[in-house]
Amino acid sequence: MDIKITILIISLIYFIIGGIVYSRNRKNLANISLAFFTYSTALWAFSFYFYEHPYFLSSFIWIKIVYFFVFFIIFSLFYLSSVFPYKSSYSLSLPILIYCLWSLPNIYLLFFTNLWIKDVVFQPSGYRTILGPLYFSPNILWSVFTAWAFYNLIKKHFKTKGVNNLQSRYAFLGIFLFVIPAVIVDAVLPLLTGNSGYFWLSPIFSFFFIGCTTYAIIRYRLMDIRIVIKKSAVYLISFSLVSGLALLIMFTVKEYTSFSTMVFGVGVVILSLLIFDPVKAFFQKLADKLMFREVYTYQEAIKTLGSEVTRLIKLDKIIDLVVDTIKKTMRLDRAGILLFSLKTSSFQVAKVIGFNQANGISLVRDNFLTLYLEKTKNLIVLEELDFLIRDAASQEEKANFEKLKVNMKRIEASLCLPLISKNKLQGIIVLGAKVSGDAYTREDLDLLETLANQASVAIENAIQYEEIQDLTGNLQQKVDEQVEEIRKKNIHLKKLLKMKGEFLDIASHQLRTPVSVILGTISMFKDRSVLRMPEETREKFVDNIYKKALKLRSIIEDILTASEMDAINFEERLNFEPTQIEDITSEVYQDNISDAEKSGLTLTYHKPDKKLPLVSIDRNYVKEALTNIVTNAIQYTEEKGKVIITTQEKGGSVIIKVQDTGIGIPKNEIENLFKKFSRASNAVNMHTDGSGLGLFIVKKIIDSHPGTKIFLESEEGKGTSFSLSFPIIK
């Protein structure tokens, strides 16, 4: 099969590419001019095929048509260079006019004279064009405008930044790979050697330009051109080496052995396939060392960073490493990480370098940007938004991209990389632009996406680790607190238990004492020994039995009252009624006067000057409380002492005061005095008939009366004074 069929195939491919480019954006001048260029090139290649395989017209005519299309190719190339990546500032009318005016005489030369193309002759190698003396004329026009196109692209390359820069670089690469070889085979070789046998290669070279430019126009996430070159070089060298080796083996085998060529051919192909990968790997390594080392180094650094972060467990370390490494290795002006904080329900700056924090990086809330990132889970590049806006399918989509652009500009971000964990946006890696002005290439973005995935996992782990640490810390603290609480309760319980033990000791003693008298006395009645005693002794015995029985009853009542008061609903059992306090105080006074006298004390009652107002109390319980206070005062006051009861109205209350000249209560024990089973330490050695429950009962009764208070003043050795204050009924 004739190798030149590739020309036809290429021309068909061009028709398709031209259609794609045009349909991508029918209004963009760059798309239009590239489509025009592609169609022209397709027609040019098409005609070229027919020049080689004349059909319908002779080769002589076909070559003229071939050259005719070159006018369009060069024109659209020039036009493209003026509008891509953006439209040049100068007016295009003059250059177009010059081009047209210059073309017309040349077209005349082409079609109506032999001065450009003299003849076409058929040779064994194929058709050959014999050129005329004015062949240089159109070449000057074309060279001038091609150079102009070169110049346009070079200028734009140096003037632009980011994606436009990368686009112009692609276009430049394409034009270079197309024009230089084409000039060699179409002009240099024919002019120098008169050999035009390689003309057919130029349509193939045009593929470089169309390929590169189409890629730059229709894709906006472009590969790093250095990597493209590197990869192409590696593949080309590896392929040439392996296929060269294969051909050499085939040739050698054919020459020196009688083996079947067919069998060897298959073997060699298999061998080639097997060694291709190792060879490629070798050249890849070599290329990494020799070509564009900085690209390789930073890619490696980002890759290493990815695996490094997954080994870290501390959140701040991960964030430091990610931000610092990305910023340094990619040579960015800014880099930072925002993390979603559950506490504030907003994105908080975890770390930023180079951002002006006041400019909004710290103001990211749940906005369109974060919602978009969470929904799409894709990174956003600010520059790409322009393309997305341009190519948006609907007005709504367009508006959304505009909104994203505004959001990103507000936080000074060139790139937002979502950190997704469990389908939630956990944070954003926010990056600025490259210091060099270069765009983020596809490789960069792929690397960053991989890195972001690894970083999200690492950050999620770190956050969980921190939570667990916090939890452990809190847990320890709580355990400590509870241990302390239990320890305190334990001490309290021990104290209570000790008090209860002491109470039981005292109570058992107090219960036994009357019992021993009752029992002992009755035993004397029983064994009739009393019969030998005088009458008054017997009477005294009966008195004593009666008195001790009463004491026994009072102690039992105290114990029962105290346990009754421990019941939860004690307050509900009280029966409040308006009462004249004086009634209670005089009763208690009357009840205790004889006991006081027996103990050698003076019990005095100071009646109020006027009638006291009524108070709302449970009469029986308050009487019990007062009785307890008065008997206590009598018990703890030595002979010749005094106990004075007074009642008075004071500041909206009725106050009962019981004052004694007894042993007093040590200051530090006043607090504990109202607790159950409590006795002041200096009362231990005092023989009393009390149950030890008296003041506990008093306090309970007073506390159950709303607004009622108890006051206690005491000085050791001098005496004690208890005051009960009852609010007057209004």
Partner 1 sequence: MKKVLMVEDDPDQVFMYTEAFKVADSDFEVIVAKDGEEGIKKAKEENPDVVVLDILMNGTSGIDVLEEIKKDPKTKKIPVLVFTNLVQEHIKKKVKELGAEEFIVKTDIVPNDIVKKVEKIVNRH
Tell me how far, at minimum, the Cβ of 494 lies from partner 1, in Å.
18
Tell me how far, at minimum, the Cβ of 510 lies from partner 1, in Å.
8
CA distance readout (Å), 438 to 23, 230, 302, 305, 729 = 28, 18, 18, 22, 90
Residue 42 CA to residue 17 CA, distance in Å, equals 10
Q: Which is nearer to partner 1, 422 or 687 (CB)?
A: 687
> Total residues contacting partner 1 (rule CB under 8 A)?
27
DSSP letter (8 states) at residue 119:
E
Tell me how far, at minimum, the Cβ of 534 lies from partner 1, in Å.
10
Tell me how far, at minimum, the Cβ of 508 lies from partner 1, in Å.
6
If you count them, how many residues does the chain have?
730
Q: Among candidates 146, 205, 139, which has minimal Cα distance to 177?
A: 205
Residue 515 binding partner 1, by CB under 8 A: yes
Q: Which is nearer to partner 1, 138 or 514 (CB)?
A: 514
- CA distance between the termini of the chain: 124
Residue 535 binding partner 1, by CB under 8 A: no
Tell me how far, at minimum, the Cβ of 497 lies from partner 1, in Å.
15
Bridge partners (DSSP) of residue 123 are: 126
Q: Which is nearer to partner 1, 419 or 506 (CB)?
A: 506
Prior bond to 85 cis, omega within 30? yes
Residue 513 binding partner 1, by CB under 8 A: yes
Residue 411 — φ and ψ, nearest 5°? -95, 15
**Which residue reads 């906006």 in tokens?**
220
Stretch that binds partner 1, among 246-254, 298-306, 521-529, 711-719 (CB under 8 A): 521-529
| Sign, CA torsion 603/609/614/616 | negative
Q: Which of 114, 304, 529, 563 binds partner 1 (CB under 8 A)?
A: 529
Q: Among candidates 691, 674, 687, 701, which has minimal Cα distance to 559?
A: 691
Q: Which is nearer to partner 1, 527 or 572 (CB)?
A: 527
Neighbour-count burial of 502, counting CB atoms closer than 10 A to its CB (0-12 exposed, 13-18 middle, 19+ buried): middle
Tell me how far, at minimum, the Cβ of 668 lies from partner 1, in Å.
23
Q: Which is nearer to partner 1, 492 or 512 (CB)?
A: 512
Q: Which is nearer to partner 1, 418 or 514 (CB)?
A: 514
Q: Among candidates 152, 178, 156, which has minimal Cα distance to 166?
A: 156
Q: Identify whether the C-beta of residue 313 lies closer than 8 Å to the C-beta of residue 464.
A: no
Residue 497 binding partner 1, by CB under 8 A: no
Q: Identify whether the C-beta of residue 450 lies closer than 8 Å to the C-beta of residue 429.
A: no
Half-sphere exposure of 570 (CA within 13 A, CB side): 17
Stretch that binds partner 1, among 10-18, 209-217, 379-387, 539-547 (CB under 8 A): 539-547
Residues 545-574 that bind partner 1 (CB under 8 A): 547-548
Q: Which of 367, 400, 544, 586 binds partner 1 (CB under 8 A)?
A: 544
Half-sphere exposure of 633 (CA within 13 A, CB side): 34
| Residues 6 or more apart whose Cβ sits within 8 Å of residue 618 | 574, 575, 576, 577, 701, 704, 705
Q: Which is nearer to partner 1, 284 or 688 (CB)?
A: 688
Buried b / exposed e across 539-561, counting CB within 10 Å, b at 16+?
A: eebeeebeebeebbebbeebbeb
Residue 541 binding partner 1, by CB under 8 A: yes
Cross-sheet strand order for the sheet of 642-650: 602-606, 642-650, 653-660, 719-727, 709-715
Give the amino acid at 187.
A
Residue 478 binding partner 1, by CB under 8 A: no
- Rounded to 10°, the helix 315-329/442-526 angle is 170
Q: Identify whether the C-beta of residue 253 lies closer than 8 Å to the C-beta of residue 264.
A: yes
Residue 509 binding partner 1, by CB under 8 A: yes
Q: Which of 240, 508, 594, 681 binds partner 1 (CB under 8 A)?
A: 508
Residue 686 binding partner 1, by CB under 8 A: yes
Q: Which is nearer to partner 1, 146 or 635 (CB)?
A: 635
Tell me how far, at minimum, the Cβ of 547 lies from partner 1, in Å.
7
Q: Which is nearer to partner 1, 459 or 506 (CB)?
A: 506
Residue 223 binding partner 1, by CB under 8 A: no
Residue 519 binding partner 1, by CB under 8 A: yes
Residue 308 CA to residue 318 CA, distance in Å, equals 9
Residue 687 binding partner 1, by CB under 8 A: yes
The site map against partner 1 for 42-81 (x = CB under 8 A) is: ----------------------------------------
**Which residue reads 């956990």 in tokens?**
426
Q: Which of 537, 563, 620, 681 binds partner 1 (CB under 8 A)?
A: 537
Q: Which of 47, 160, 521, 632 binds partner 1 (CB under 8 A)?
A: 521
Tell me how far, at minimum, the Cβ of 519 lies from partner 1, in Å.
6
Q: Which is nearer to partner 1, 154 or 515 (CB)?
A: 515
Stretch that binds partner 1, among 240-248, 340-348, 623-631, 681-689 (CB under 8 A): 681-689
Stretch that binds partner 1, among 359-367, 376-384, 534-542, 567-575 (CB under 8 A): 534-542
Residue 540 binding partner 1, by CB under 8 A: yes
Q: Which is nearer to partner 1, 614 or 686 (CB)?
A: 686
Residue 516 binding partner 1, by CB under 8 A: yes
Q: Which is nearer to partner 1, 540 or 718 (CB)?
A: 540
Residue 698 CA to residue 382 CA, distance in Å, equals 82
Q: Which of 524, 559, 574, 710 binds partner 1 (CB under 8 A)?
A: 524
In a 3-state reduction of DSSP, which class is residue 343? coil
Bridge partners (DSSP) of residue 120 are: 129
Tell me how far, at minimum, the Cβ of 478 lies from partner 1, in Å.
41
> What is the helix (H) or strand (E) element at residue 648, kind and residue range?
strand 642-650
Residues 329-348 that bind partner 1 (CB under 8 A): none
Stretch that binds partner 1, among 108-116, 192-200, 308-316, 506-514 (CB under 8 A): 506-514
Collect contacts of 285-291 with beta carbons under 8 A, ≥24 apart: 287/230, 287/233, 287/234, 291/226, 291/229, 291/230, 291/233
Q: Which is nearer to partner 1, 356 or 508 (CB)?
A: 508
Q: Identify whether the C-beta of residue 107 lies closer than 8 Å to the C-beta of residue 71.
A: yes
Q: Identify whether the C-beta of residue 510 lies closer than 8 Å to the C-beta of residue 555.
A: yes
Q: Which of 9, 20, 471, 533 binds partner 1 (CB under 8 A)?
A: 533
Q: Which is nearer to partner 1, 261 or 529 (CB)?
A: 529
Tell me how far, at minimum, the Cβ of 712 lies from partner 1, in Å.
23
> Which residues in 51-141 belong to E strands, given as ranges?
117-123, 126-131
Q: Which of 89, 91, 394, 685 binds partner 1 (CB under 8 A)?
A: 685
Torsion angle in degrees (nearest 10) through CA of 395, 401, 404, 405: -110
Tell me how far, at minimum, the Cβ of 580 lies from partner 1, in Å.
37
Stretch that binds partner 1, among 166-174, 213-221, 473-481, 524-532 (CB under 8 A): 524-532
**Structure token digits, residue 519:** 């029992």
Stretch that binds partner 1, among 187-195, 320-328, 406-414, 522-530 (CB under 8 A): 522-530
Tell me how far, at minimum, the Cβ of 524 lies from partner 1, in Å.
6
* Residue 199 burial (CB count, 10 A): 22
Alpha helices in 219-314 (DSSP H): 225-256, 261-290, 293-309
Q: Which is nearer to partner 1, 1 or 684 (CB)?
A: 684
Binding site for partner 1 (CB under 8 A): 505, 508-509, 512-513, 515-517, 519-521, 523-524, 527, 529-530, 532-533, 537, 540-541, 544, 547-548, 685-687
